[in-house]
Amino acid sequence: MDIKELNEIIFDPIVCVKCGYCKSTCPTYLATRDERFSPRGRLSLSYKIIKEKERMGFSDLIRVFHDIDTCSKCGECEKTCPMGLNPYLSFMRAKAKTLPGKFEVISAKLTTKSKLFFTLLFYFGSKIKKSSYKINLTKISFRQREKIENEEKSDTIFFPSCFGYTIFSQTKKKVESLMEDLGVKFKTAPQSFSCCGAPLLFSGSMEDFEKNKKELIRKIEEKSTNDLSTLLVLGPTCTYIMKKFYKELNEKFPKVKIKEASDFIIEKIREKEVKIHVGEKDSVGEKDGNVKNITTKRESNINPEENKKNEEENKKKSEIIVIHKPCHEKYSDAIDKKNFFKELGFNVEETEFPCCGFGGSMFFKYPKMSNQLLDLLSEKIKEEEDKKVLVISNSPGCILQISRKHETKHILDLIYERIIVANHQQK
* Residue ranges that bind ligand SF4, judged by CB under 6 A: 16-22, 26-28, 39-40, 42-43, 71-77, 81, 83, 85, 87-88
Nearest CB to ligand SF4, comparing residues 57 and 82: 82
Dihedral of CA atoms 21, 23, 25, 30 in degrees, nearest 10, equals: -150
Smallest separation, CB 44 to ligand SF4 (Å):
9
Smallest separation, CB 321 to ligand SF4 (Å):
27
Smallest separation, CB 330 to ligand SF4 (Å):
12
Treating both helix axes as pointing N-terminal to C-terminal, what angle do 39-52 and 58-69 enclose, rounded to 10 degrees? 150
Nearest CB to ligand SF4, comparing residues 96 and 414: 96
Q: Which of 139, 132, 202 is nearest to 168 (CA)?
A: 139
CA 6 from centre of chain: 31
Smallest separation, CB 360 to ligand SF4 (Å):
11
Nearest CB to ligand SF4, comparing residues 77 and 195: 77
Smallest separation, CB 27 to ligand SF4 (Å):
5
- Residue 198: CA atoms inside 13 Å, Cβ hemisphere, count? 24
CA distance 379 to 389: 13
Smallest separation, CB 65 to ligand SF4 (Å):
14
- Strand pairing of 257-260 and 276-278? unpaired
- Do the Cβ atoms of 312 and 344 come closer than 8 Å? no
Nearest CB to ligand SF4, comparing residues 73 and 115: 73
Nearest CB to ligand SF4, comparing residues 20 and 100: 20
Phi, psi of 74 (to 5 degrees): -75, -25
Nearest CB to ligand SF4, comparing residues 85 and 231: 85
Smallest separation, CB 336 to ligand SF4 (Å):
24
Please, which residues bridge with residue 230 across strands?
156, 257
Smallest separation, CB 28 to ligand SF4 (Å):
4
- Do the Cβ atoms of 282 and 295 come closer than 8 Å? no
Nearest CB to ligand SF4, comparing residues 38 and 161: 38
- Do the Cβ atoms of 407 and 393 come closer than 8 Å? no
Nearest CB to ligand SF4, comparing residues 22 and 261: 22
